[in-house]
């Protein structure tokens, strides 16, 4: 497997708190994607960070990438109830087919 | 806006029966993918295609066939459905070129239950 964790992780926080989700990968990648999946829907890209970037921000989201430790993180600042979703990280398969390899994801629940 | 649609959205099939899942995209994308998602796990690639009339095997192709009759349409076929194929199936498309070349656009999914 490309990823360290095989099963869905779960996090539960209160509204207004900050949260960080982590992923570690085993083989070289040129890009890490973070996707969000709402219940009953397909995943949607929320932030993409390339291997030449250490940090990427989008609104309340912040992604980091450490190629030396082959790990990435996604942080949400001041989480809101609508942030409740499953968050996946994914890397490119480096096979020239624009394939992605998805991790098992983190179920984030933000409580009011 | 990019759009990927899937049909049916939900299906119950009997063991040994044939199942066809359909995907249609209006993105004008060359690449299309079929994934399965099992409860509590991530997405795993079954088949993909980068041009009409051609398909490629992904990571878990056994028990599945794929068909790409046109750029817009991509089908997943289970010739002999089995209990282990109960899952949610997602179709996705990708432009394969340009600055957004890595982003995949997903459909809403098809929940398949094999009894």
List, for residues B55-66, the tens digit of each pLDDT value: 999 989 999 999
Kindly write down the DSSP assignment for every residue of A14-73, as one continuous string.
ETT--EEEEEEBSS--SEEEEEEE-TTS--EEEEEEETT-SEEEETTEEEEEETTTTEEE
Do A104 and B45 make contact, defined as CB atoms within 8 angstroms? no
Do A43 and B33 make contact, defined as CB atoms within 8 angstroms? no
The pLDDT of residue B9 = 96
Q: What is the pLDDT of residues B24-36, one digit of tens each?
A: 999 999 999 999 9
For residues A89 and A68, the answer to whether their CB atoms sit within 8 Å is no
Which sequence spans correspond to the domains of chain A?
9-111
Mean pLDDT of A43-69: 93
Check pLDDT > 80 for residue B101. Answer: no
Angle at B10 between CA B41 and CA A9, to 5 degrees: 15
Q: What is the mean pLDDT of chain A?
A: 88
Distance CA A23, CA A50 (A): 15
The pLDDT of residue A4 = 47
Question: Is residue A54 exposed (0-12), middle (13-18) or buried (19+ Cβ within 10 Å)?
Answer: exposed
| Type and span of the H or E element at B25 | strand B19-25
Smallest CA–CA distance from A101 into chain B, residue: B44
**Gap between the terminal Cα atoms of chain B:** 37
Most confident range (mean pLDDT) of A27-36, A64-73, B89-98 is A64-73
Lowest-pLDDT choice from B50-59, B82-91, B96-105: B96-105
- Superfamily of segment(s) A9-111: Immunoglobulins (2.60.40.10)
* Partners of residue B97 in chain A, C-beta under 8 Å: none
A77 vs chain B: nearest CA distance in angstroms? 24
**Gap between the terminal Cα atoms of chain A:** 36
């Amino acid at each position: 497997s490309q990823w360290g964790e095989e099963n869905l992780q779960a996090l539960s926080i209160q509204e207004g708190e900050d949260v960080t989700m982590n992923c570690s990968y085993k083989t070289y990648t040129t890009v890490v994607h973070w996707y969000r999946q709402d219940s009953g829907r397909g995943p949607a890209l929320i932030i993409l960070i390339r291997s030449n970037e250490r940090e990427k921000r989008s609104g309340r989201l912040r992604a980091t990438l450490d190629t030396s430790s082959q790990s990435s993180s996604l942080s949400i600042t001041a989480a809101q109830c609508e942030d409740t979703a499953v968050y996946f990280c994914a890397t490119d398969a480096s096979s020239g087919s624009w394939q992605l390899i998805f991790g098992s994801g983190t179920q984030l629940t933000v409580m009011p | 806006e990019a759009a990927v649609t899937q049909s049916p959205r939900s299906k119950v099939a009997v063991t040994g029966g044939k199942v066809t899942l359909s995907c249609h995209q209006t993105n004008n994308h060359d690449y299309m993918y079929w994934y399965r998602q099992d409860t509590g796990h991530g997405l795993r690639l079954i088949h993909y295609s980068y041009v009409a009339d051609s398909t490629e095997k992904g990571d878990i192709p056994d028990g599945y066939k794929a068909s790409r009759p046109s750029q817009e349409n991509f089908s997943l076929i289970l010739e002999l459905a089995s209990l282990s194929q109960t899952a949610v199936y997602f179709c996705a498309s990708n432009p394969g070129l340009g600055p957004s070349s890595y982003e995949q656009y997903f459909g809403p999914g098809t929940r398949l239950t094999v009894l």
